[in-house]
Each structure stands twice: as C-alpha cells, then as structure tokens.
C-alpha cells in the first residue's frame, strides 16, 4: 500500500515548506517536490493544508483505578478521542499500589492496552514505595521491558506518595538504570493537613480542593525535587506545572544548566480557579490535582512555553463521569475523583489560543505537542517528526477550519466536557496511524487494536554532574 500526499505545507518543529510525502506501508519513504506517482498509489491533495506529525500526549491515564472508581476512558475510547483531535501516540502511567510488584503491575497494564488501542502507546512506570524488590525490578523494567521513564508522586501522601528518603533512593536507582523520573510535585504533608483541616471544619465544597494545594506548596516541592535530583545526579521532568512558583524553580534550574524539564497541560493555560465556585456541585467537573490556578498563572505559563522554561504540553487525560463518578465526592471534596479529559482537545485548543493568537508559532506548537515528548521520552525520530524512515503517523491539518467543543460530539465516554462551548480554529481533516487512514472529515476510520506498545531503547540522558 502506498500513498502520496501532495502539496501540503509540511510543518515540523524546525521547518515549514511545501512538498510531497510518499508513504510506503507504515513509514515515510520519500519527501520532495513533485514526487512521481506510481501505479496503485493513492493520491491525496494536501494543498492549503498543513501536514504535521501526529501529536504525542506524554501524560494520560486510561482505565485507571483511582479514588474508589476507574477513569472512564480506556485505551479504546481514549485512543479514538486522541486520533479525532490529531494525536497518534500516548504515554500512560503504570501505577502499582504500595507493596505491589512493578513487573506484575506492568502485566496488568499490558492486558488493559493490548488489542484495544487504535494508535501506538508506551508507559511510564510509577514507583509508589521503596523496598528491595523495587530496587531489583527497576533495571529490569528498563532493560527488558523498554520503559525508560519513571514517575513519583509527592502528592497523595499515604496512598501513592513517597517521602524524601524514598525519592532519593528512586532517583539513584533510576539514574543507575539509565532512566529518569517524572514528578508530581506538591508538598504532600501540607496538602493532606490542609485538606483534612478544611473538611473537618465543615469546609467540604470544591473551592477547598484548590485551597488545600496552594501554588507555593507546588513551588516548594518542585524546587526540592530539583535539588534532590542535583544531589543524586539525576535529571527530573516536572509534570503538569501550573503556576509561577513552580515555573520560577524550573527556569532557574535550566539557567544553571541542570537537566530539568517542565510539562504543563492544556487546562492550566485556559481554565482558572473561579470554576470551583460554580453552584450545584458543578465545580467538581474541574477538580484535578494540581488544581486550576489564577489567570495570572496562565500568562506565566504561556510565556514559559515561548521561552522554553516549559518544554511540553500534555493533558493528564483522566476523565470521570459527572453523574456517577464525580458524585462520589458530593459531600466531601476529598472524595471527588481527580481528573478530566483533554486528549481530543489539546491540538485544536493550543492552535486556537497559541498559534492563531501569535503566542507561539506553528513550529513551536508541533514541538510542544509532538517532537519534544518524542525526544525527551526516547521515541524520536521514529515518532514526533516528518522524516524519511519515520512512522507515518501523520495529520493533515486545516488551519482555518472552525469548530466548537461539546460533550455531545466529543469521543470521550465522559458525560461532560470542561471546554464545552469553546470555539476552535484549526482541525485535523485526515489522520494516518502508521500509514493507515484513521480519521477523515470527522469520522473515525481507524482500527481498534492496531496500536502497539513501543519499547524504548533510551530516553534523553544528559551527562548529569553530581552537585552533592
């Protein structure tokens, strides 16, 4: 099977130029001006559109057992939603409970994903405890299972959270294994203390979910784990950065030349904490951790995207139904399942509010949503760019198409959408997954189960000096 996409403007992290792209089977075979057609070629006219590498979302949770329920999108609905928004790769988190084996939990995740995803995927491995078995398993996870990024939670004390001593062991062990660590940074002690204090004094509404996680507590933990990383000689990647206090620490570390990355998510750029004051428990729709912040923090984040203090935009897609799942916490914000959607909306919203407004250019948009996730997590250049030999995960993008986001038309299984009514400029018109047409003109045409787990041989590894 071969395909020639003619006359689209190819947009990668580095270039914009008009050319033809030939796809043979699952990969890009040639790029050039006026490529000759061969008999049997399918020809697609890409004129007046952009051709971009499919988005890669480095932060999603499919069918995650969490807070007494399971996140509503699984690898099937999640990957379809992703494709319909121009994303063709995701990185989910394997999350063992305390006391569970990393390797056994990995098998559970493989069983959830295999045969169900419509595009390729890989995993980060969370470490939620520290003991001899985990120490033994970390290098096996890297060497034999192709997982080169780990995850720790400074949040969720007592459940998933690890303390400084455990963090230090995990930083050293993952360093020795040739991998690195994603961090959910917040002062977990303070978060738990404040949340309990609010709830026990009758302050149980959604507003208190946000007040229990002040920006300064996120900034403190961000700075602390960056410093612990420097002492251990390990690089760290801070997930879902929301605020000025955290950006400041990341920017300072990068200015010192330390290997530190920051990721933010679509919602922290576009939604703010006034939503927690909505009546009738509507604020629960927006409960996630870290919480939404102030409008001023959004401006900081947009600037950080432009200056590369923040290098990646993900979503933390982890959706829960309002009617059945968010309702668990109706009487107590501590029990509201944390999370919501974003896989389908990320590219269109970043295009609308970033590229179309001039805050970032089209190259930077591709870099933030596809190329940097691929590079940092060891998927590049197989994924995340348009080059000869790369997987043909491609999106034909109409930068002028307009739309409106709604739960009535989204592909998530969730019964609401946090971006309900948001207007969008720019949309995918065709999406290919490894050469197969997976979406065309708003219809899913892909194959559930075609997505494969991608083993990673490595990840971006700086030669990290030990500062300790």
Minimum Å gap between C-beta 155 and Zn ion is 10
Q: Toward Zn ion, which CB reaches closer, 316 or 393?
A: 316
Minimum Å gap between C-beta 448 and Zn ion is 24
DSSP letter assigned to residue 39 = T
> For Zn ion, which stretch binds (CB under 5 A), given 68-76, 150-158, 313-321, 368-376?
313-321
Minimum Å gap between C-beta 184 and Zn ion is 7
Q: Toward Zn ion, which CB reaches closer, 124 or 169?
A: 124
> For Zn ion, which stretch binds (CB under 5 A), given 26-34, 36-44, 316-324, 347-355?
316-324
> For Zn ion, which stretch binds (CB under 5 A), given 106-114, 151-159, 311-319, 412-420?
311-319
Minimum Å gap between C-beta 288 and Zn ion is 8
For the chain, the residue count is 468
Minimum Å gap between C-beta 62 and Zn ion is 11
Q: Toward Zn ion, which CB reaches closer, 369 or 392?
A: 369
Return the closest-CA partner of residue 405 out of 392, 416, 393: 416
Q: How far is CA 362 from CA 356, 358, 380, 427, in A?
A: 9, 9, 19, 13
The alpha helices in 256-294, defined as continuous H runs, are 266-270
DSSP letter assigned to residue 44 = E
Six-digit token pair at 375? Answer: 């590079």
Among the listed residues 263, 316, 345, 391, the single contact to Zn ion using CB under 5 A: 316
Using CB under 5 A, which residues numbered 253 to 292 contact Zn ion?
A: none
Number of residues that bind Zn ion (CB under 5 A): 1
Identify the helix (H) or strand (E) that includes residue 335.
Answer: none
Helices vs. strands in the chain: H and E counts, helices first = 13, 19
Q: Toward Zn ion, which CB reaches closer, 316 or 436?
A: 316
Residue 260: strand, helix, or coil:
strand
Q: Toward Zn ion, which CB reaches closer, 8 or 246?
A: 246
Q: Toward Zn ion, which CB reaches closer, 21 or 60?
A: 60
Q: How far is CA 463 from CA 18, 124, 130, in A?
A: 38, 21, 25
> For Zn ion, which stretch binds (CB under 5 A), given 65-73, 249-257, 309-317, 323-331?
309-317
Minimum Å gap between C-beta 256 and Zn ion is 27
From first CA to last CA, the distance across the chain in angstroms is 56
CA gap 128, 183 in Å, rounded: 12
Asked whether the CA dihedral 439, 445, 449, 452 is positive or negative, the reply is negative
Q: Give Cβ neighbours of residue 65 (< 8 Å, ≥ 6 apart).
A: none
String of contacts with Zn ion for each residue 376-415, x by CB under 5 A? ----------------------------------------
CA gap 249, 246 in Å, rounded: 5
β-bridge mates for residue 2, sequence order:
24
Q: Toward Zn ion, which CB reaches closer, 315 or 429?
A: 315
Minimum Å gap between C-beta 59 and Zn ion is 6
Return the closest-CA partner of residue 396 out of 56, 17, 48, 36: 48
Residue with tokens 């303070």: 190
String of contacts with Zn ion for each residue 146-185, x by CB under 5 A? ----------------------------------------
Residues in contact with Zn ion by the rule CB under 5 A: 316
């Amino acid at each position: 099977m071969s395909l020639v996409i003619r006359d689209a403007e190819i947009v990668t992290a580095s270039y914009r130029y008009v050319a033809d792209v030939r796809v043979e089977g699952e990969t890009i075979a040639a790029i050039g001006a006026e490529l000759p057609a061969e008999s049997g070629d399918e020809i697609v006219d890409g004129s007046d559109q952009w051709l971009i590498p499919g988005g890669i979302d480095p932060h999603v949770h499919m069918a995650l057992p969490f807070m007494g329920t399971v996140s509503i999108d699984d690898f099937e609905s999640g990957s379809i939603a992703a494709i319909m928004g121009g994303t063709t790769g995701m990185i989910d988190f394997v999350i063992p409970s305390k006391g569970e084996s990393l390797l056994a939990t990995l098998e559970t995740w493989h069983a959830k994903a295999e045969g169900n995803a419509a595009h390729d995927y890989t995993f980060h491995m969370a470490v939620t405890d520290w003991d001899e078995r985990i120490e033994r398993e970390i290098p096996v996870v890297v060497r034999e299972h192709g997982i080169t990024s780990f995850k720790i939670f400074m949040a969720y004390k007592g459940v998933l959270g690890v303390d400084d001593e455990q963090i230090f062991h995990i930083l050293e062990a993952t360093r020795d294994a040739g991998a690195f660590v994603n961090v959910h940074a917040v002062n977990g002690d303070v978060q738990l203390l404040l949340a309990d204090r609010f709830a026990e004094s009758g302050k149980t509404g959604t507003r208190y979910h946000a007040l229990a996680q002040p920006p300064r507590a996120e900034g403190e933990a961000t700075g602390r784990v960056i410093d612990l990383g420097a002492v251990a000689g390990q690089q760290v990647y801070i997930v879902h950065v929301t605020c000025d206090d955290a950006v400041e620490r990341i920017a300072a570390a990068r200015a010192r030349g330390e290997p530190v990355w920051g990721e933010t998510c679509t919602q922290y750029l576009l939604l703010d904490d006034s939503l927690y004051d909505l009546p009738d428990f509507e604020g629960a729709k927006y409960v996630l951790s870290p919480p939404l912040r102030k409008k001023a923090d959004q401006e900081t984040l947009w600037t950080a995207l432009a200056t590369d203090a923040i290098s990646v935009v993900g979503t933390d897609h982890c959706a829960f139904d309002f009617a059945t799942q968010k309702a668990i916490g109706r009487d107590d914000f501590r029990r509201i399942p944390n999370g919501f959607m974003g896989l389908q909306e990320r590219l269109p919203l970043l295009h609308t509010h970033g590229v179309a407004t001039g805050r970032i250019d089209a190259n930077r948009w591709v870099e933030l949503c596809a190329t940097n996730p691929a590079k940092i997590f060891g998927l590049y250049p197989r994924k995340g760019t348009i080059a000869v030999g790369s997987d043909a995960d491609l999106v034909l993008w109409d930068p002028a198409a307009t739309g409106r986001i709604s739960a009535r038309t989204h592909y998530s299984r969730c019964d609401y959408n946090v971006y309900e009514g948001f207007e969008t400029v720019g949309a995918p018109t065709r999406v290919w997954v490894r050469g197969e047409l997976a979406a065309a003109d708003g219809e899913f045409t892909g194959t559930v189960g075609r997505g494969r787990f991608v083993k990673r041989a490595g990840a971006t590894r700086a030669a990290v000096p030990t500062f300790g």
